[in-house]
Structure 1
């Protein structure tokens, strides 16, 4: 490295400069050059946005450590917050040798760390603390009175994988923890967010510093990736028999895809994303069996959240090993920045959860200089017969994948959704704040958490209603002096180790038909009587929902195409559906589709043209009516809720809303929509009047009904987009054809 060419290099501590030389660096990367002068004086909130393995960690820690070394007698403390224990272990491995030479202690902190190391930190809280939000929550709860002293010399708060927190309950918890630390020490140490590039970095800035995002410096790496090679392969499965076993439903395509993966991936390191844990197991089993049958060493390993830590680490170690080749079949557990080395390619089976997710996954490939990033997509469509549903004829899944790849190639990805109320986590943080302080007044808790904190969308009337309801449930109580304390039922909940996590594990509902229990199903959407669910490769109509008993009572129902009512996959954005429509209306071939996918594209476009979907919105399919909106899931679910409120039986089906019933009249629906367009957007309470299973988050069960509806709507529905669509289409009368 030519020192005179890098002013940022000159700003680093001389011992860190020597370390950079020893590591053989020839230059600082662009994000590092830009970050060092902004971070080194600890006066600025910063987001460093760059692709995986672009040097974000060093861009943050080299100036952070330089600042800490300016006064070695009072190093101070930097807290690094990670979404994963595995990332903490990775960063500890990366920082340990450097920090040892600088005599700066590093404390990895999670459930697997010894109590003796933690005791050393409490005796001298200085250096680097690498911690998860849950462990930080436990520290604030259990050592609340010591927090001002523990964090008195806090220099920086560093948040890794910032994009993974935004819009989630865990993210809202993280914002609250950082706010509570600021309040405890009476100042605002700078926050540094490390993130993949997002669709709107200003939203990320507002997340990092709520109500102060405008002052956050955003450093975006300009180093573009190398060449990207994309191939989407199409497959056609025979139509499953009515009584087919669920395990056999995709056997034809699964075998073909596994054979292609076996042929193309052996002899290199790769990641395969099949979109569900069950499919991870199925593909791993099939690929391992192929290795056995061919009498070759196994190269295929599973990785998902239900596996033990030891099994996951075994897969990660296999990917990093230099003496063998490994392909991991995984869920989004390997999307984040765990160090697994470079992989040659990414395989995506079925549409990804989002464009942003696909981009994050693809960031693992093409990291070696001169090597392209490689994406292979696999799309499965059903063979057509005289009973094929219209969406099957449209080849919807293939067009969804094509739209996502198209947007990825243009550099677009979904902006983070950061507008939810997250009242579930507000309850947790209120209980935690009471534990930290040993009691707190209602007014002070409101100022910390809402007025100047991350829950600033919660107004005083809703806050007062929440406190009243928590008091009725004996989760909190108010003593004569006005202090809020834990109630009889609140105290044991806060004292249990499960309290520290803001998110809940996915709850499953028993599915019962008559006297037969069909099994259990994770349900992540609101459910109403008359909705349809897909279970055991059959369609069922919901007859009754017992929320307390976590049971759904169903009756067998024959429809051409059932809605995917389990919790797999992501929330599809409006822009993806709009791009799908553009692909349908185009006559140009999609150059990254193989021959089969291209043939299926022609079929889909012919269907789109035959039904005149460019000019009409209503199409009758058997006894049902399809309303094509080409909106994202949030807006479509809001429109479906509006229809449900008028006695219709709708469910969201991709780019359309399917309305069940022979007597469904297009003119009635249009008249109703025209009425709604002339009125203000409906309130969540009205929209979700007769809807079940709204308790999606960990503490939703504590909310009064009106606040539960508000919170659910803010997280799951896009009422504004739905109402805008109604306004834009108010004068469109249904056209017969």
Structure 2
């Protein structure tokens, strides 16, 4: 144990937790955190990074004393807060400290007690933090936050790209109005490809990076089996492989809730193993009961959706199973990293059932082994959340002047690029629309704000943002699964057909405000869009590396980890690529029966290309099919027209009105309840940046050129 730790803390770690020594990431984090640096800790799942933050903080709290509230722990999920509260409570009780959790499920009486008599550690969601800042008096907020010294942001990658991340970044700055000193910020994550950008988000004034490479070897296998029809007769291969894992602790990730339920029933019926299920449609009590029982067992199966992707503690996992190819390296590492904490080896199995999925699976693993993660996409001008935070600040500041609001918000990194001139233009717009009114020098809420957000004591104003941009797919009252907003907005209308988790569905209606798609089973015979099974767009990085693989530019030793059907498919793709003469820098274009542009650039890029052609071709395009590797459509143009449009794409998307021109392709997507109230061009720009991937499209075109290959096709 480190000699610089307080003896009481060392005794607790050795005798209560049974530790012999600190892990690498925990030793590395001591110096920057004890030195007062804002710190980003990057380490694989189950590496002990949460304790890497807690140890130096508790060392200070024990040695120097801790006045309430000393530590603020922010998490994206209530389940994580509940789990972390149990862990934190055991630490606190040993050192005569106290921890309080605060989210929507916590009783009002407990919250009132906390307001009257704060405790040393507060665990909270961003939404609840916003409620405190809005609803409590200045004196109450001073009593809660004046002694705040540390803020831990857990699973920071989960926040960064979404509205909640912009909100949280603003809240962290707003809290400083009530603290005696600027609190030290510590971010935790397992999967970030661009840590410098995240450190700027977290701490523009400078931030230390603690990065611990996993010493757990990654042992993987890829199997090509039937996954579409989960009935016993068709799943013999899969069940035979799972049977070999009985006696071990296995976490199985399903692409949808319906699939999770189906595989749970079949495993329970056919395998001699204790099996549990975990997804968002189950009650909190059932999920927590499954977590507790699974955690205590050394040999059991847990079938889960993404609900167990983040750091809820379910014990030491031996093997992680994916029931479809992960759509990104980040997702793959987040899930797979849950295994091998004690064994020292991360073990994972990926099952695929479609040819392209095998290629996606191999690409994902190959990038993961090379340490190449996707960059997080940090919103550059989140003006919809700026709109919300202006309204929120009027609540908080009590008779503010405009300059008070500007100074309060623009010291946060997410709004620091918004000029004072633009702030005044936004303020004028909000007053013209009667969201705000000015009385003398002071700003107040206007009638339209009260009318729009005043129901249920402004409850809808507090619970502002979805946790991520996913639509729930519902059959009646039952949630089947989720699909990314990209697919829901770009491809779904009433009557649309699609596949989720292997099942075929027809859309009955879409509620773009509640992020809900209502469906019924499709029993017909038609060409149905086949997105990757999890309903998530495949990343640019995974798609581009798939092109490297078919060219043979990858570690061929990885093929030894594929079963024979998977290996044969990869070798077939490589053989066909060679026969077509494919090389680096090519974008194959087939104009034989329809136009197909093989970008290998991901779903978002390919959809953007097809929409650009729809705008630029005089008679438009029809019969559009997009996936991770290509965009394909029918249009009355020849190859020279295709090259001309593709060469013009940088200037086309660089036009100021391009997002607004594209708006007709975005259905009724509202993103959040504030964007509808912004000027049309501003709203269009925000939605464009979220749903598409213009930066990666420009990168693709800068590094590659179209090549005419009639009859081209790999799949």
TM-score above 0.5, yes or no: yes
Matches within 5 A, 1:699-714: 699-714=674-689
Match of residue 57 from structure 1: 50
CA distance in 2, matches of 1:344, 1:307: 25
Within the candidate set 255, 258, 267, 1:275 is matched to 255
Assess if the C-alpha contact under 8 Å between 2:141 and 2:178 holds in 1: yes
Match of residue 31 from structure 1: 25
Query: Could you give the per-residue CA deviations for residues 346-392 of structure 1, whole angstroms, max 9, x where no partner exists?
Result: 101111131111111111111114x53211111102xxxxxxxxxxx
Match of residue 514 from structure 1: none
CA change 1:466–1:455 in 2 (3 A) is: same
CA change 1:265–1:457 in 2 (3 A) is: farther
Match of residue 348 from structure 2: 375
CA distance in 2, matches of 1:425, 1:236: 44
Match of residue 337 from structure 2: 363
The answer as to 2:102 corresponding to 1:136 is: no
Assess if the C-alpha contact under 8 Å between 1:226 and 1:366 holds in 2: yes
SS of corresponding position for 2:353: strand
Within the candidate set 701, 707, 722, 2:697 is matched to 722
SS of corresponding position for 2:338: coil
The answer as to 2:566 corresponding to 1:597 is: yes
CA distance in 1, matches of 2:128, 2:333: 30
Question: How far did residue 693 of structure 1 move?
Answer: 2.9
Match of residue 515 from structure 1: none
Within the candidate set 208, 223, 241, 1:217 is matched to 208
Match of residue 644 from structure 1: 614
Match of residue 141 from structure 2: 147
Within the candidate set 436, 439, 445, 1:479 is matched to 439
Assess if the C-alpha contact under 8 Å between 1:466 and 1:704 holds in 2: no
Assess if the C-alpha contact under 8 Å between 2:540 and 2:696 holds in 1: no
Query: Could you give the per-residue CA deviations for residues 170-195 of structure 1, whole angstroms, max 9, x where no partner exists?
Result: 21111111011013437421111122
Assess if the C-alpha contact under 8 Å between 2:232 and 2:266 holds in 1: no
- Root mean square deviation of aligned Cα: 3.7
Match of residue 646 from structure 2: 673
Assess if the C-alpha contact under 8 Å between 2:531 and 2:627 holds in 1: no
The answer as to 2:424 corresponding to 1:430 is: no
CA distance in 1, matches of 2:507, 2:439: 50
Question: How far did residue 262 of structure 1 move?
Answer: 4.2
Within the candidate set 388, 400, 406, 1:446 is matched to 406
CA change 1:559–1:51 in 2 (3 A) is: same
Specify every segment of 5 or more residues in structure 1 that has no aligned partner in the other structure, as ranges.
238-247, 382-394, 512-518
SS of corresponding position for 2:243: helix
Match of residue 386 from structure 1: none
Matches within 5 A, 1:20-169: 20-23=13-16, 24-40=18-34, 43-72=36-65, 74=67, 77-145=70-138, 146-169=140-163
CA distance in 2, matches of 1:87, 1:716: 28
The number of residues matched between the two structures is 681
The answer as to 2:544 corresponding to 1:578 is: yes
SS of corresponding position for 2:20: coil
Question: How far did residue 680 of structure 1 move?
Answer: 7.2
Question: How far did residue 428 of structure 1 move?
Answer: 2.8
The answer as to 2:668 corresponding to 1:693 is: yes
CA distance in 1, matches of 2:342, 2:256: 29
SS of corresponding position for 2:560: coil
Match of residue 601 from structure 2: 631
CA change 1:50–1:253 in 2 (3 A) is: farther
Question: How far did residue 493 of structure 1 move?
Answer: 5.0
Question: Structure 2 length as normaliser, TM-score?
Answer: 0.85
Query: Could you give the per-residue CA deviations for residues 561-614 of structure 1, whole angstroms, max 9, x where no partner exists?
Result: 643479944343332122111211229471211111112223333443455554
Match of residue 658 from structure 1: 632
Assess if the C-alpha contact under 8 Å between 1:75 and 1:127 holds in 2: yes
Within the candidate set 161, 177, 180, 1:183 is matched to 177
The answer as to 2:274 corresponding to 1:303 is: no
The answer as to 2:466 corresponding to 1:500 is: no
Between 1:250-259 and 1:61-70, the stretch displaced more is 250-259
Question: How far did residue 664 of structure 1 move?
Answer: 4.4
CA distance in 1, matches of 2:104, 2:494: 42
Match of residue 241 from structure 1: none
Assess if the C-alpha contact under 8 Å between 2:386 and 2:415 holds in 1: yes
Question: Structure 1 length as normaliser, TM-score?
Answer: 0.83
CA change 1:561–1:463 in 2 (3 A) is: farther
CA distance in 1, matches of 2:225, 2:526: 20
CA change 1:426–1:677 in 2 (3 A) is: closer
SS of corresponding position for 1:178: helix
CA change 1:648–1:466 in 2 (3 A) is: farther
Specify every segment of 5 or more residues in structure 2 that has no aligned partner in the other structure, as ranges.
none
Question: How far did residue 309 of structure 1 move?
Answer: 0.4
CA distance in 1, matches of 2:8, 2:361: 49
